[in-house]
Amino acid sequence: MTSFFGASVQRVEDDRLLRGLGAYLDDLGDDALAAAFVRSPHAHARITDIDVSGALDVDGLVAIYTFEDLPGRLAEPLPLLIPHPSLTHGRTPYPLAAGEVNHVGEPVVMVVARDRYLAEDAAGQIEVSYQPLPAVVGLAAARAAQHLVHDDVPGNLAGNAVQENGDARAAISAAPHVLELDFEIERSASTPLEGRGVLARWDGQAQRMRIWTSTQTSTGVRAAVAAKLGLALADVDVITPDVGGGFGVKIVHPWPEEVLVPWAARLLGQPVKFTEDRREHFIASAHERAQQHHVRVGFDDGGRILGLDVRFWHDNGAYIPYGLIVPIVTSTQLLGPYKPGAYRVEFDSLYTNTVIVTPYRGAGRPQGAFVMERTMDAIAAALRLDRAVVRERNFIQPGEMPYDQGLIFQDGRPLIYDSGDYPALLAKLKELIGWDQFAAYQQAARAQGRRVGIGLGCYVEGTGVGPYEGGHVVVETSGKVKVATGLTTQGQGHQTVFAQLVADELGVPLADVQIVTGDTRRFGYAVGTFASRAAVMSGSAIALAARKARAKALRVAAEAMEVSADDLEIVDGIVQVKGDPASGIALGTVAVLSNPLRYAFDDAAQAATQFAGGDASRPPVAEGEEPGIEGRAFFSPARSTFASGMHAAIVETDPDTAEVTILRYCVVHDCGRLINPRIVEGQIHGGVAQGVAGALYERMAYDDAGQLQNASFMDFLMPYVSEVPARIEIGHQQTPSPLNPLGIKGAGEAGVIPGAAVLAAAIEDAEGFPVTSMPMSPSDLFELRRTHKDTP
């Protein structure tokens, strides 16, 4: 039998999307009223007055709401989703500002009108008076704490955390060589092509709420809205339509709009919709990445790290609804494939009067990889050793797996790597890019007046974090298989890869399997799509559910065919005695047999009525059995599974314009067994593009007053095709995970993680001076050249 696992089958999602028949959030709810928001123009201010009188005459106006109008729990701050003992001063926003605003873009007034044009007309007539307060912008200002973002948060400090494995400071003091290094990364953001959006319908007769939202967690939104509006969970449905990209920003929930829109829909008895525009997405969703790091590292003559002490500062923006996840990920995943000797890490998470910071693809790992890989390069430079050799000497060896880093990971579980082969990955990468031949190439290029450089970067990524996901598989009497899982999808191709798994497990054609994700009506228990977890978590759960359905089908068929279930197999949707196609009955028929009926409504049902035969002495549904061919299963692993990879790039820097051109970009990657290689490669391509973007182009240009100067696609330099490498050369390695039934690891974030580290290293190699801060624009590089010319 052909296996779909491991095959690059074409995506089942595509036909619909290519015909323009996708249904994204703003494609729904043509009959809905439109919501628009008056947002703060100030980074930090007290609201002294809100005058809505000018808006009241606007044609088509339906309602205006301010904080004063919010009842009950809606008038409380939004939830702090991930509390942590180290998060001592967690602050979250109100759905509408309660007297104070803390970043440009914070919602102050909600307007509902007949359409979006009119809602914006009305919003434009509302006058909010502010008393501006000093704005805290950037980490330097946050650390100086001359001004406070929140009056009751001293030092702007949301939380401080320390983890230590061994006595790092003592190890560094005793080390033959010590380096002190500073590294900085600026802000970027997920920036999906589709922004946020939410549509709500209140059914007054049934007293039920139905919500469509462009989210990475429909069950999370459901629970949050139910709690805020005082509804039973059973009375709220949340449906994730087609989602135009997420990359992390849509895991945050509930957004202010996600509770306000359903509330207004219930109050008004009419459907209400909010569709975010591009400027709103820049100033009112979430960013990531900004961190400053100070490293002390002690090492021996061979470049082996004996002690590593990292202190860093994380800019969490105005509020911290997603907790300390990003800096915790940096502090743990920084270690990558290495044994650091003794390790100590401490971070401060600090408030600033800017947009909130929550995970963006990579989620703290790009910063960690930047710090660790730049440190490796600095050690190599100090000892005049090959950069690859220094890495090799610090690798965890395959024989040391599972490897306990002695820290607590972001899921609250021990940071134990389950499997991986880092020396083999590096050998593969060196071969792919021609590492050992580069010196000659560089020398020849220099002779022609060209500046070229090579860099590499390694990472280990904890994927498939818990607590759980589930899956449900049902075989219909048509033989078609309907599958549901609760987590959501934003373009990863889940409908294809999950169908591949089910088709293999059940022995049915791929085309007969249909997957539904992110619809609480179909599956109510789920966590969400983040941390490269969907394939590992829902994939495993769905495979287990399919195995249950298969066992049930064989049991029912065995009885009907009067053979042992052990002698049966399912081939192409037919249950048959092994190797005997003539003996078979269709899986749909088995579904008919499994469900004894009283009423016939079609031919298949006729065959299943209680008058169709069967042993009259036994109950129609045997004890311990249920009608139908179904399987339902959950997967809850003890720990995350750790994928790994290494990238290398060759760049050329223009001697005059300081422009950086990527000549080659190579990726070797190990995410365990590949379900669909083409889809994994697509994830890598997209991730690398975002890595390049964060290294060379994207930054959030806040001025000192907290105004985001580049809040549009004109000014935020998201790469076009001209900015990404023409070719990304990919090599796979497959080290199965022992932690799940499929042996797989996550692949979603991998491509982005080492981008800044690799390109910084390559630029450094081309230019001959240290590169410690990213992104690196041509003007940044130009300035660096001037600095290093002045101080050779």
Partner 1 sequence: MSGGEELHEVRLTVNGAAYQVRVPARRLLSDCIRHDLGLTGTHVGCEHGVCGACTILLDGDPVRSCLMLAVSADGAQITTVEGLAEPDGTLSPVQQAFADCHGLQCGFCTPGFLTTITAGLRATPDPGEQQAREMVGGNLCRCTGYHNIVASVLRAAQIQRERAARRP
**Strand 236-239 versus strand 208-213 pairing type:** parallel
Whichever of 277 and 400 has its CB closer to partner 1, that residue is 277
- Which helix or strand (DSSP H or E) is residue 278 part of? helix 278-284
Distance CA 33, CA 35 (A): 7
Identity (one letter) of the amino acid at 77? Answer: P
Whichever of 295 and 728 has its CB closer to partner 1, that residue is 728
Report the nearest approach of partner 1 to the CB of residue 252 (Å): 17
Phi/psi of residue 291, each to 5°? -150, 150
Measure the N-to-C terminal CA separation of the chain; round to a whole number of Å. Answer: 67
Q: Are 114 and 325 in contact (CB under 8 A)?
A: no
Closest CA to 542 of 481, 480, 484: 484
Report the nearest approach of partner 1 to the CB of residue 697 (Å): 12
Report the nearest approach of partner 1 to the CB of residue 260 (Å): 22
Whichever of 11 and 344 has its CB closer to partner 1, that residue is 11
Whichever of 298 and 491 has its CB closer to partner 1, that residue is 491
Whichever of 338 and 459 has its CB closer to partner 1, that residue is 459
| Residue 329 in tokens | 């990920």
Identity (one letter) of the amino acid at 455? Answer: G
Report the nearest approach of partner 1 to the CB of residue 193 (Å): 4
Report the nearest approach of partner 1 to the CB of residue 572 (Å): 24
Report the nearest approach of partner 1 to the CB of residue 39 (Å): 16
Distance CA 485, CA 539 (A): 9
Whichever of 22 and 736 has its CB closer to partner 1, that residue is 22
Report the nearest approach of partner 1 to the CB of residue 117 (Å): 7
Cα distances (Å, whole numbers) of residue 55 to 13, 108, 117, 661: 44, 15, 13, 52
Whichever of 18 and 206 has its CB closer to partner 1, that residue is 18
Whichever of 120 and 348 has its CB closer to partner 1, that residue is 120
Identity (one letter) of the amino acid at 254? Answer: P
Report the nearest approach of partner 1 to the CB of residue 133 (Å): 31
Q: Are 461 and 644 in contact (CB under 8 A)?
A: yes
Report the nearest approach of partner 1 to the CB of residue 743 (Å): 23
Quote the Cα angle for 726-748-251, to 5°: 125
Whichever of 21 and 234 has its CB closer to partner 1, that residue is 21
Residue with the two structure tokens 């060209």:
450
Distance CA 237, CA 199 (A): 12
Strands (E), 716-787: 729-732, 773-774
Phi/psi of residue 205, each to 5°? -70, -45
Cα distances (Å, whole numbers) of residue 483 to 401, 419, 503, 629, 745: 35, 30, 11, 12, 22
Whichever of 200 and 684 has its CB closer to partner 1, that residue is 684
| Residue 441 in tokens | 């190439």
Whichever of 305 and 688 has its CB closer to partner 1, that residue is 688
Task: Please give the torsion angle defined by the CA atoms of residues 119, 122, 127 and 132, in that order, rounded to the nearest 10 degrees.
Answer: 20
Distance CA 527, CA 241 (A): 17
Query: Three-state SS for 38?
Result: strand
Which residues are at the interface with partner 1 (CB under 8 A)? 10-11, 13-15, 17-24, 26-27, 30, 59-60, 114-115, 117-118, 191-194, 242-245, 247, 277-278, 490-493, 678-679, 681-682, 685-690, 712-714, 718, 720-722, 724, 726-728, 751
Three-state SS for 535-566 is HHHHHHHHHHHHHHHHHHHHHHHHHHHCCCHH
Distance CA 247, CA 749 (A): 9
Distance CA 776, CA 774 (A): 5
Identity (one letter) of the amino acid at 280? Answer: E
Report the nearest approach of partner 1 to the CB of residue 10 (Å): 6
Whichever of 28 and 484 has its CB closer to partner 1, that residue is 28
Whichever of 139 and 680 has its CB closer to partner 1, that residue is 680
Closest CA to 352 of 397, 379, 383, 315: 315
Whichever of 193 and 622 has its CB closer to partner 1, that residue is 193
Report the nearest approach of partner 1 to the CB of residue 96 (Å): 24
Distance CA 422, CA 290 (A): 29
Report the nearest approach of partner 1 to the CB of residue 735 (Å): 24
Report the nearest approach of partner 1 to the CB of residue 368 (Å): 22
Distance CA 39, CA 659 (A): 38
Report the nearest approach of partner 1 to the CB of residue 678 (Å): 5
Whichever of 452 and 730 has its CB closer to partner 1, that residue is 730
Strands (E), 436-528: 451-463, 469-475, 481-485, 513-517
Report the nearest approach of partner 1 to the CB of residue 692 (Å): 8
Widest Cα–Cα separation across the chain: 98
626 CB-near residues (< 8 Å, 6+ apart): none
Whichever of 244 and 256 has its CB closer to partner 1, that residue is 244
Distance CA 662, CA 681 (A): 19
Q: Are 608 and 601 in contact (CB under 8 A)?
A: no
Report the nearest approach of partner 1 to the CB of residue 121 (Å): 9
